[in-house]
Chains A and B, each alone.
Chain A
Amino acid sequence: MRTVRLQREDFDAGAEQTSLARGRSDVGAVVCFTGICRGDGISAMTLEHYPGMAEAEIARHVEEAERRWPLLGVTVIHRFGRLVPGDNIVLVATASAHRGNAFAAAEFLMDYLKTQAPFWKREERGGEASWVEAKGADDAAAARWKRRADAAE
């Protein structure tokens, strides 16, 4: 079961997590990550995205995760629009027979979402708005998965 949604509305992480294992007995592990808008001196943030490409890029990475790990379900939800501290931003949930694959696939998907999915954050801080700069640490986190894949070849 594969679900990718981009939406302005909030999501219910508990319900998304539960639905991955409901009614089946082959799932032994569900990992559910939620990214939340941090206060950190900001009053709000606005997420801009590239409609069409964002869905396609996330779907490509979900397919890649399914090739790498034996997954029984994946859900990715990314919000756009204006969010305030405490609001949900993104959800990645993975289901597998065993925890290792579910953990790894969820981390892989989040690392790639950060650097490859076409979203841009604009923060409002003390009445001023500015675009968030990409972090080298996020590129390094995504690159680890590439090195592992190369090493396996």
Chain B
Amino acid sequence: MSVKLLYFAWVRERIGKPDEVVDPPASVRTVADLVAWLVQRGDEYAYAFENPKVIRAAIDRSHARPDATLMGAREIAFFPPMTGG
């Protein structure tokens, strides 16, 4: 399942890139699974996701909870709590 990942604000800075395409194994079914899989890929991911509770996610440009399914997802974004307005 090839999917595009986007990172914003300090998540982007910690990982060191704004986006990438990844191909996680079939066992990665939810947002939380994807975070756990990314964390194993290297220190930069472990640093970005060191406190997973504060990280927000979006699937195809809609907010998504950790238990949301990745089925059919094309674009998944990770970012800190929003501070606009």
Contacts and interface: CB of A to CB of B under 8 A. Distances in A.
Interface of A: 35, 47-50, 52-54, 56-57, 78, 89-90, 110, 113-122, 131-134, 138
Contact of B85 (A50, A113, A122, A133): A113
B25 interface: no
B66 to A, nearest CB: 17
Interface string B16-57: 000000000000000000000000000000000000000000
Interface string B41-85: 000000000000000001001110000000000000101111111
A52 to B, nearest CB: 6
Contacts of A138: 85
Contacts, number: 72
Contacts of B79: 50, 118, 120
B1 to A, nearest CB: 21
B80 A47 contact: no
A121 B8 contact: no
Given A35-B85, A90-B85, A117-B85, A53 B77 contact: yes
A79 B81 CA distance: 18
Contacts of B82: 114-120, 134
Given A89-B85, A119-B85, A122-B9, A50 B80 contact: no
A134 B85 contact: no
Given A50-B6, A50-B8, A122-B9, A56 B61 contact: yes
